[in-house]
Amino acid sequence: MEDQRKHLLSEDLIVFDNKFRSLIHEWKENNKDLLIKYSLDNSSLFSANEISLNVDSLIFDKNVPEDIREEIKSLFISSLP
């Protein structure tokens, strides 16, 4: 998987993607109760049509409340190179 990504993505995108995935994983671990409250504990929360450095590339599941969307957008922005 890592080799495939190196052929398809720039180094900046790979670094960003790794950092963002790590922050999302950490956020989910720290917010389990919140995810359960909104029945999102089995949700991916969002998807992306492409790996991009544009926060607008995130497509949120319809059940994700605005406050969680804003937190994820903040994690996205903090992951930018």
**Model pTM?**
0.82
- Tens of pLDDT, residues 7-36: 567 888 888 989 999 999 999 999 999 999
Tokens, residue 18 = 């790794």
51-79 pLDDT per residue, tens:
778 898 899 999 999 999 999 999 999 99
| Backbone φ, ψ for residue 11 (5° rounding) | -60, -40
H or E stretch at 58? strand 58-60
Amino acid symbol at 25: H
- CA–CA gap between residue 50 and residue 47 (Å, rounded): 9
